[in-house]
Amino acid sequence: MDAVFRALGDPVRLALVDELARRNDQTLFELCVRLINRGHSLSRQAVAKHVGVLRDAALVHLTTSGRTTIHHLDPTVLVEAQAQLAQITKELS
């Protein structure tokens, strides 16, 4: 779970997760354009590295169809992280 919280701790990666939550199954190009619209002007390679961190944390899965790679957000990991935070919050109360 540490990898998940580390991945979500970066504003660019958090923006990527938010974009995939709004519209799942996007290409890297689509994600780059959406980040630019949010004020994050990063190179395609930089976005790919951020996606790699999200993939390593099991937040994003990739599927390939021909030459197109689709990025898919897996919400189960977010639910697990939310449950862990809820437990910590409950213990603090």
Domain count, the chain: 1
Q: What is the pLDDT along the chain (93 residues), one digit of tens a residue?
A: 889 999 999 999 999 999 999 999 999 999 999 999 999 999 999 999 999 999 999 999 999 989 999 999 999 999 999 999 999 998 888
As a whole number of angstroms, the distance between CA 85 and CA 36 comes to: 30
72 alpha-carbon distance from chain centroid: 9
CA gyration radius, the chain: 14
Q: Which domain holds residue 16?
A: 2-92
Residue 88 sits in a domain whose CATH number is 1.10.10.10
